[in-house]
Amino acid sequence: MTTTLPPAPDTATAPAATKPRPTVPVHVRPVIRFRSSRPDLLLCFGLLAVILLVQGWNITHFPTLSDDEGTYLAQAWAVQQGDGLAHYTYWYDHPPLGWVQIAALTWLPSLIAPETMTVATMRFAMLLVSAACAVLLYVLARRLFLPRWAAALAMLLFGLSPLSVVLQREIFLDNIAVMWMLLAFCLAASPSRHLWHHFAAGLAAATSVLTKETMLVVLPALLVTMWRHSHRDTRKYAVTGAVTACALIGLAYPLFALLNNELFPGPGHVSLIDGITYQMGREGSGSIFDSGSGSHGVFTSWLYYDRVLPLGGLAGAALLLVTLRWSVTARALAGPALAVAILAVVAMRPSGYLPAMYVIQALPFLALVLAGGAASVAHAVLRRPVDRPAAPIQARPRLRGGVPGGAPDQGPQSRSRLGIGVRHVVAGLLALAAAAYVVPSWYDGNRDALTVDANAPYRAAASWMQNEVADPASTRVLVDDALWLDLVHDGFEPGTGAIWFYKADLDPAVTKTMPRGWRDLDYVVSSPTVRRDAVDLPNVKAALEHSKPVAVFGDGEDRIEIRRITGGER
């Protein structure tokens, strides 16, 4: 039996409905398993070695030791010694979890060599935090579907920007809080989408906020990331679990204050409400757009070190947010882009307080969205248009003698190959132009961090106090917290012998040991911080006015003077 097949339809005359349509390729993004991807592991840890080398080089000499660093480390020392949550009365200025973690990071070296528990040497502990942040950022970039080169770019932007090299070296709570927030984002974008990953993201976020409470403003961006990367069937459970876990851990702080009868203000004790009131009521530093304001000075100092990451990151966030409807990359990075937008809006408050370390919280998100913006631009430049069905190619007739009158028309293929080549050339030129701008700028910005010794005056002052004061146990000295631990190791009495200069006016437990005010002091170590803040501290101001320098180290505004109190013999 013979079966006759129907004739194939003539595509030239067939109805439009039967004509073959061009198919648009569907790109399914692979799930990135970082721990099992050898190229990712090699690239990430190779870049990590470079970052740690740059950040660790000259770390004890630059930047200048700050009073905030000394305060956090002194509080960590008090935790290690079992003397409470601070080296003076803990007054709920910040949650204590931040310096408890610093105490854990510095516990082993302080146990082996107690005299090394000083600000300069303990900066090496921050390299562990920087390493964790850099790796987490790479993992997050890959989980948000950035290509490998873009993830590497984000890691380099975050680790080698002069802003990062300077600020990530310092013992700031912000650096530790950023590490926990990056962990929360990695868990929220977990490719496995397990519920426990999202619960753990809530726990990590709460830990970040309890390390530095200003990370609270980033939580909406974390929620967006979790919403976009969780499975729709379990999304409500994931988000509910994460929010519950974050809230329950966060409530541990007010519960701690309540159990100590220090939640509400009252006579004779500190309170959490007083601490929050102080922080919220701090005098604003003005608008960053006002050239005479403190906020503008802080913003200018950021740009002095690096313009690429702050301004480029803002531009990248704007690009991603504007193209959210059309760009897959923008949708994947919606959370980090929102984090940049929120942090920028908070920084631009006209009457807010803008500390210099605030930008630390934005650095990883700026790097991520800048790399994401670069990936979007590269994709737009390099992607091929959808191929259209070409007309049938007909060979031209040969001329007499067998000489071909023309080869088959290869125009569309040739033009396609030419277009691909042009796009690659354009992409290469853009990459070279970016590198030509960034590399010299970062070289200049990092040169001081790698070569300058800004802490020689502090070391000289500490050495003078150690060698020239005959009886440190009975000597009373006003000093900033950058030198406080040095003096404690040299035999000065913690708290009442070596006195953090603020406490001479603000802590009743200290002022009651100074019935004659400045006359009960022997020395004041006049650092830039002490001279700047003495205006509002009567005892400190009087000590400076009734003292004379016996040793001066450095010059200009950065000098450190050892001043002996005159007219106040005890």
**DSSP class per residue in 49-60:** HHHHHHHHTTTT
Task: Please give the pLDDT value at position 476.
Answer: 96
Contact 562, 525 (CB under 8 A): yes
Instruction: Kindly state the tokens that stand for 538.
Output: 């009567």
- The 10s digit of each residue's pLDDT in 454-492 is 999 999 999 999 999 999 999 999 999 999 999 999 999
Dist. CA 313–CA 124, nearest whole Å: 28
Instruction: Kindly state the tokens that stand for 263.
Output: 């939640």
Q: Is 431 exposed, middle or buried (0-12, 13-18, 19+ CB in 10 A)?
A: middle
Mutual angle of helices 173-188 and 125-143, in 10-degree steps: 30
Q: Judge if pTM exceeds 0.75.
A: yes
Per DSSP bridges, beta strands 477-479 and 560-565 are unpaired
Contacts of 570 (CB under 8 A, 6+ apart): 516, 519, 520, 522
Task: Please give the pLDDT value at position 187.
Answer: 96
Percent of the chain as helix, strand, coil, to the nearest 5: 60, 5, 35
Task: Please give the pLDDT value at position 390.
Answer: 46
DSSP H or E stretch at residue 137:
helix 125-143
Strand partners, 553: 560
Task: Please give the pLDDT value at position 20.
Answer: 52
Contact 329, 277 (CB under 8 A): no
Burial profile 213-233: b = 16 or more Cβ within 10 angstroms, e = fewer? bbbeebbebbbbbbebbbeee
Contact 284, 414 (CB under 8 A): no
Task: Please give the pLDDT value at position 28.
Answer: 47
Contacts of 516 (CB under 8 A, 6+ apart): 568, 570
Show the low-confidence residues of the chain (pLDDT under 70): 1-34, 384-420, 423, 568-570
The dihedral built from the CA positions of residue 513, 518, 521 and 524, taken in this order, carries a sign that is positive
Closest CA to 275 of 113, 92, 431, 106: 92
DSSP assignment letter at 269: B
Contact 184, 335 (CB under 8 A): no
Dist. CA 307–CA 34, nearest whole Å: 31
Dist. CA 524–CA 551, nearest whole Å: 11
Please state the separation of Cα 193 from the chain's center in Å. 26
Please state the separation of Cα 165 from the chain's center in Å. 11
Dist. CA 131–CA 50, nearest whole Å: 11
In 348-455, alpha helices (H)? 363-382, 411-451
Domain ranges of the chain: 34-284, 456-565
Q: Which long-range contacts (CB under 8 A, 24 or more apart) does 191-195 make?
A: 191/31, 191/32, 191/33, 191/143, 193/229, 193/230, 193/231, 193/234, 193/238, 195/234, 195/237, 195/238, 195/241
> Is the backbone peptide bond immediately before 63 cis, with ω within 30 degrees of 0?
yes
